[in-house]
Amino acid sequence: MGEAGAEKQAGRTESGLPMKPLYGSEDLDGFDPDAALGAPGAYPFTRGPYPSMYTGRPWTMRQYAGFGNARESNARYHQLVSAGTGGLSVAFDLPTQMGYDSDDPMVSGEVGKVGVAIDSVDDMLTLFGGLPLDTVSTSMTINAPAAVLLLMYQLVAESQGADPAKLAGTIQNDVLKEYIARGTYIFPPKASLRLISDIFAYCKDELPRWNTISISGYHMAEAGATPAQEIAFTLANAKEYVRAAQAVGLSVDDIGPRLSFFFVARTTLLEEIAKFRAARRVWARIVKEEFGSTNPKSQMLRFHTQTAGVQLTAQQPEVNLVRVALQGLGAVLGGTQSLHTNSYDEAIALPTEKAARLALRTQQVIAYETDVCKTVDPFAGSYAIESLTDELEEAIVDLINQVEERGGAVAAIEQGFQKNEIERSAYEVAKQIDSTERTVVGVNAYTIDAEEPYEPLRVDPAIEVEQREALARLRSERDNAAVDAALVALKKAAEGTDNLLHPMKQALAARATIGEVCNALRGVWGTYVPPDKF
């Protein structure tokens, strides 16, 4: 295939925008760099949220890890810290993400498979053993039960003697994208927004340095969203979260400085750089012009990036090292605040220790062996990048308006708008790969007859048995009357309007499990069941 496929791919970006073979000043339509871009660290933040960007220090190298039980994941975290990672990023198994205990019949066979199994504060104590939570920054990829895991983390930190006001990190806590693209939701949308707004209010007082939400386009991109759709639907969700906060008396400037975002970095380097620049500009204008923000910290879009898992291939997996390096470079040139680089073997299984170390080394090479940290926003003024940024901004704003016309993100979700748009885009990409119009090295071009053998990391099924036994011990040792009373108080708060996190923390301190806490809320709110069709 090769040359013919390359010719077919030329001329269009992932969002379907025209990609010219040559850009010049005439493409910028009277573009004045100083007026349109502003300075780095200044509104509308096109050139980055901070004046010095990486010339002061590199981005946070935050490797996503977690598998099996808390003991094994803790060992992996210590390995990553010793290898030079600057922040922890926790992957939880599916039972934890869905608010079930490891001994629930619903989750048999899934314990510890795609992340670490966490049932109680006891597991969290093991997970973070020997790690100073008052000095390390921790990101937790958890959504529907985000409040539960955050409070467990706070309890562990307090047991270490840490001041909660000094704890730094992020919970993903972005449930709206679960209804659109990922599926690890528990409660109906309105109840989920209530819980999220309670987290905002709680952290404002208790955990002021904590990023209360990481509004994610990554998972929508993995499901097939174009770059324009990824940013537009993420920012539309962000608007819904701001409105939810306003409904409980919080202003955009109360929560804005602690909002963060999470995006993907694809191999299409130029469009990804332009995408990140456009995202900052659009969000700054939304926050200032629509919500009336007067705080620049609310207006600056800060984001974490993960390289594109959907672009990894099981065929010739070593080629993924090249893909990840390019994707990571694109994220850096686009001005990310933190970065996770995928391991080359993740299309096959959980990453091995060697693969995870190589992924971190990829970031370190970009940071310390290239010159990208020597200047702020190296692509500013590029005819191609500035033109693509303008065009992406227009496409993003158009899609956000389409969501707003349907009543906002929740109403559009209930109508299936975002999901249908993403599925349509995913289908187009699949057709292009099948027809070889789009080249994927090792899959539909430059293939080999036989793959080299690879021994993947395997999770020991005995872990599920261990978790069940640990839960049995916990329930026999704890004060069950205190747990029951705390869960009753949590239900009462869910039925009313009190902030849920205070009684929830009391229940978890009494060693209630994640399943018990989530079941208490299920008993009040029910669970979300998506419609069969839209």
User: Is 534's pLDDT higher than 70?
Assistant: no
Who has greater pLDDT, 50 or 36? 50
The per-residue pLDDT for 66 is 74
The whole-number average pLDDT for the span 267-290 is: 97
More confident position, 460 or 16: 16
Whether the predicted pLDDT of 11 surpasses 90: no
User: Which residues have C-beta within 8 Å of that of residue 57, sequence separation ≥ 6?
Assistant: none
Q: Is residue 442 part of a domain?
A: no
With respect to residue 81, please indicate whether it lies within any of the assigned structural domains.
yes
Read off the pLDDT of each residue in 245-269 and give the average, rounded to a whole number. 95
**Lowest mean pLDDT across 1-10, 122-131, 502-511:** 1-10
The percent of residues in the chain predicted with pLDDT above 90, rounded, is 79
Residues 341-360 have pLDDT tens digits of 999 999 998 888 899 899 99
Q: In whole angstroms, give the CA distance from residue 227 to residue 265.
A: 9
Residue 82 lies in a domain: yes
Q: Is residue 491 part of a domain?
A: no
Residue 86 and residue 276: Cα distance in Å, rounded?
A: 22
**pLDDT category, 136, cuts 50, 70, 90?**
confident
Note whether residue 238 is domain-resident.
yes
Q: How far is CA 420 from CA 137, 174, 260, 508, in A?
A: 37, 20, 26, 39
Q: Domain with 297 in it: what CATH number?
A: 3.20.20.240
On whether the CB atoms of residues 376 and 56 are closer than 8 A, the answer is no
| Banded model confidence at residue 6, pLDDT cuts 50, 70, 90 | very low
Rounded to an integer, the average pLDDT of 378-391 is 92
Phi-psi region of 424 (alpha: psi -120 to 50; beta: other; left: phi over 0): alpha
Mean pLDDT over 81-95 rounds to 84
pLDDT at 7: 41
DSSP secondary structure letter of residue 445: B
Q: Does position 84 have pLDDT exceeding 70, yes or no?
A: yes
For residue range 191-202, what is the model confidence (pLDDT) as tens digits? 999 999 999 999
Question: What is the domain range of residue 87?
Answer: 3-21+43-434
- Token duo for residue 521: 């809320």
Q: Give the Cα separation of 53 and 44 in Å (integer).
A: 15
The pLDDT assigned to 76 comes to 84
> How many domains is the chain partitioned into structurally?
1
Predicted confidence band of residue 256 (pLDDT cuts 50, 70, 90): very high
Average pLDDT over residues 319-348: 96
User: Is residue 2 over pLDDT 80?
Assistant: no
pLDDT score, position 35 = 61
In a domain, 48, yes or no: yes
**Model confidence band, residue 218 (pLDDT cutoffs 50, 70, 90):** very high
Per-residue pLDDT, averaged over 357-380, amounts to 94
Q: What per-residue confidence (pLDDT) applies to 150?
A: 98
Q: How far is the C-alpha of 242 from the C-alpha of 288, rounded, in Å?
A: 12
417-443 average pLDDT score: 96
- Pair 170, 64: CB distance under 8 Å: no
For residues 490-519, average pLDDT: 98
pLDDT tens sequence across 38-73: 889 999 999 999 999 999 899 999 877 777 789 988
pLDDT, greater one: 186 or 66: 186
Quick check: is 482 in a domain?
no
Short-list 518, 488, 520, 524, CA closest to 120: 518
Average pLDDT across the chain, whole number: 92
2-11, 150-159, 410-419: segment of lowest average pLDDT: 2-11
Q: Is residue 466 part of a domain?
A: no
Q: What is the pLDDT of residue 9?
A: 47
pLDDT value at position 458?
77
Is the confidence at residue 10, as pLDDT, over 70?
no
- Quick one: pLDDT at residue 29? 66
Q: What's the N-to-C CA distance of the chain in angstroms?
A: 39
**In the prediction, which pLDDT does 51 show?**
93
Using DSSP's 3-state secondary structure scheme, residue 264 falls into strand
pLDDT of 1 above 50: no
Percent of the chain residues topping a pLDDT of 70: 95
